[in-house]
Chain A
Amino acid sequence: MATANSSAYIERYADVASLLCGQNVTWLQQQRADALLRLTEHGFPAIRDEDWRYTNVSVLDKQYFAPAQKSASAVITADWLKAYQLVDAWSLVLVDGYFSAELSMLVDLPEGVTVVSLAEALQDAQYATVLEGKINGAVSQDENGFVAFNGAYFVGGVLIHVPAKLQVSKPIQVLHIATQELTAINTRSVIVADELSELQLIETFVGLECAYLSVAVTEVFVGQNANVTLHKVQVESEKAIHFGGTYVKQARDARFRHDNFALGAVLARSDVHTDLDHASECELNGLYLGVKRQHIDNHTRINHLKPHGISRQLYKGVLDDRARGVFQGRVVVAEDAQKTDSQMNNRNLLLSSDAEADTKPQLEIYADDVKCAHGVTVGQLDEKSIFYLQSRCVDEETARNMLTFAFANEMVDKVKIKSLHDLILGQVLTRFPQEGINKEWL
């Protein structure tokens, strides 16, 4: 049964169908019809769903977000864009979900590398073989109501394909920009890295100061022995709602790393799911910072399907004011996945008595020869450390800021792309009191 909040999107679907990409692609139309059916059946998730027990999406009952139309006016200034568009990367820009050729920087892409808007890819026969089976290939429309919603409604997105044995020399950024008040923006991204290739990718989600609903589903296919790093930087407008899912299929010996910076939006949920084949490795890192009344939910699932897989997870949360952070991490080790080596860690720092952290690590192990560990902490700043800094001339407030910053900075420092590192550092510093933290010394 559709929940009240999803029914508006089902009833009005016919009105917006003309906005969607790939209208003449029969299989896609079939998938969209299927997605709408799933949305009708399940609706948006409710807190009675175990995976959504900490995140209440009933705000969607109160507010209908009309699917965004292509914006006619160039409301984005070069100066504004400069703050988010990386200089040392190729970038594809989506404005309200629609590809913007004029804002994108895609010149001199290496031979054979595809970075193209999904709408264009669906119209062009040359991409048909790469795309085949990829949309809804890494995620099922049954996964949750937002995936189904996205499957029915996505207006655009990106297709990135790296052919075998190619190491892409610079990172590729997909920059999602929201510009319109009270709109829903649905995008779908398909990333395909063929065997032995290497790719560094950045997904940036940002918006003008308005309220909107951003739903982004990314499907990643990491080929045999390929190596993909995906940085997600979610710095949506502080009135925005963000639902993002990254679904990954790793082939044998494939490596995948995801760095998840969840800093923006008033309500944000991020899912990262990956399936590991024989001896493949994944590293999932996350940093979520919540202030005011932000609610930031992070959900990971690692499926060890075959032997000798390695997974590492470290998610850190800093929560101030009345913010609430959630980490739900689930590692499933299949019966066949012997010699799996898995570690999951979640550390939370609460800066106010009204802040809340909910953490739920889950291990489901069906194999008998594995090494799996998990650890969780929820705490405050260490008083001993504060006194130590005070005894070294640092006043208490600065000491607290230094320790808070240091806690978060561990995750920022993992980012090795200079311009991206600086962008994230800047975003972290604007979100927390940095009085006394001298930027020049960092």
Chain B
Amino acid sequence: MLSIKNLHVSVGDKPILKGINLEIKPGEIHAIMGPNGSGKSTLSHILSGKSGYTVTEGSATYQGKDLLEMPPEIRAREGVFLAFQYPVEIPGVSNVYLLKAALNSIRKHHGQSEVDAMDFLTLVKGKVRLLEMDEKFLYRAVNEGFSGGEKKRNEILQMAILEPKLCILDETDSGLDIDALKIVSEGVNSLRSPDRSFVMVTHYQRLLDYIKPDFVHVLANGQIVKSGGAELALELEEKGYSWLEDAEASA
């Protein structure tokens, strides 16, 4: 699905990622954990195509294609979805309009016709119920005036409708209370499938109580310093990140 090899990324002259290696196979859930400033968000941004970053070395291959060469919208149409840490408010563009524009872009990209209006509404309303959202949200401007939890739920709604292959969740748990966290997690879990992979970028372990990862990677100073199974997250919760950073410094 996704193969990252020796990826180095800078912002201006400042190196942020210093040689990331990561293999993600279909159906797997990978958690990327790490302290603030370790490069977690940079990793999710570079995978989704945000500008302002320079790749100085290495590669990212997605389904056999050079991911880093594609403009953001092509990545999205090819099935890469970034759930934003801070979803952007877009006054004047309704949720339902954006969903339809996005879905039709994907269909067009794959040589399919535009979605039928009735089928679309049935699909969308089903997903809205799944995420326990109010249908009124569909007709409101994208994220405008939404609470933190509503914005995150809206991200998952988009994901549920666009059915991406590679989902990158950037600090999805931040700003969520426990009820919202449960609903969002259930939404994500319902999307798990053998041909869909997830990369969850998170500072805290608590999201992983609800979405169980297959692999956990610890990012520190722009490198993956430790990888393991789900149990690694618990260890981090207990000991914090400093023992890993110390170990790296002394190594």
Interface residues of A, Cβ cutoff 8 Å to B = 382-385, 387-396, 398, 402-403, 405-407, 409-410, 436, 438, 441-442
3 smallest A-B Cβ distances: which pairs? Answer: A406-B92, A393-B105, A390-B72
Tally of B interface residues using CB under 8 Å: 31
Residues of A within 8 A of B51 (CB): 383, 387
Residues of B within 8 A of A403 (CB): 90, 92-93
Among candidates A389, A410, A441, residue contacting B100 with C-beta atoms closer than 8 Å: A441
Residues of A within 8 A of B73 (CB): 390-391, 393-396
Residues of B within 8 A of A436 (CB): 101
Given pairs A391-B81, A391-B82, 13 additional interface contacts (CB within 8 A): A387-B88, A390-B73, A391-B72, A392-B158, A393-B77, A393-B106, A393-B162, A395-B71, A395-B105, A402-B93, A403-B93, A407-B92, A410-B92
Among candidates B75, B91, B105, B162, residue contacting A410 with C-beta atoms closer than 8 Å: B91
* Count of A-B contacts judged by CB separation below 8 Å: 81
Q: In this assembly, does B1 line the interface, its C-beta being within 8 Å of a C-beta of chain A?
A: no
How far is it, in angstroms, between the C-alpha of A407 and the C-alpha of B92 when the chains are bound? 6
The answer on a CB contact under 8 Å between B102 and A393 is yes
The answer on a CB contact under 8 Å between B49 and A389 is no
Measured CB to CB, the closest approach of chain A to B175, in angstroms, equals 17
Given contacts A390-B76, A403-B93, contact A385 B88 (CB under 8 A): yes
The answer on a CB contact under 8 Å between B92 and A409 is yes
Measured CB to CB, the closest approach of chain B to A41, in angstroms, equals 47
Tell me the interface secondary structure of chain B in the complex: helix
In the complex, which of the residues A392, A393, A396, A406 has the most CB atoms of chain B within 10 Å of its own CB atom? Answer: A393
Nearest residue, chain A, Cβ from B97: A441
How far is it, in angstroms, between the C-alpha of A339 and the C-alpha of B180 when the chains are bound? 44
The answer on a CB contact under 8 Å between B49 and A393 is no
How far is it, in angstroms, between the C-alpha of A54 and the C-alpha of B112 when the chains are bound? 52
Given contacts A391-B49, A391-B82, A393-B73, contact A405 B106 (CB under 8 A): no
Listed A/B pairs (30) with beta-carbon separation below 8 Å: A385-B90, A387-B51, A388-B84, A390-B72, A390-B76, A391-B49, A391-B72, A391-B73, A391-B76, A392-B98, A392-B101, A392-B102, A392-B162, A393-B76, A393-B77, A393-B162, A394-B98, A395-B71, A395-B73, A405-B92, A406-B91, A406-B93, A406-B141, A409-B92, A410-B91, A436-B101, A438-B100, A438-B101, A441-B97, A441-B101
Residues of A within 8 A of B141 (CB): 406
Q: In this assembly, does B27 line the interface, its C-beta being within 8 Å of a C-beta of chain A?
A: no
Measured CB to CB, the closest approach of chain A to B167, in angstroms, equals 12
Residues of B within 8 A of A410 (CB): 91-92
In the complex, which of the residues A382, A390, A403, A410 has the most CB atoms of chain B within 10 Å of its own CB atom? Answer: A390
Measured CB to CB, the closest approach of chain A to B89, in angstroms, equals 8
Binary flags per residue of B60-84, CB closer than 8 Å to A gives 1, else 0:
0000000000011101110001101
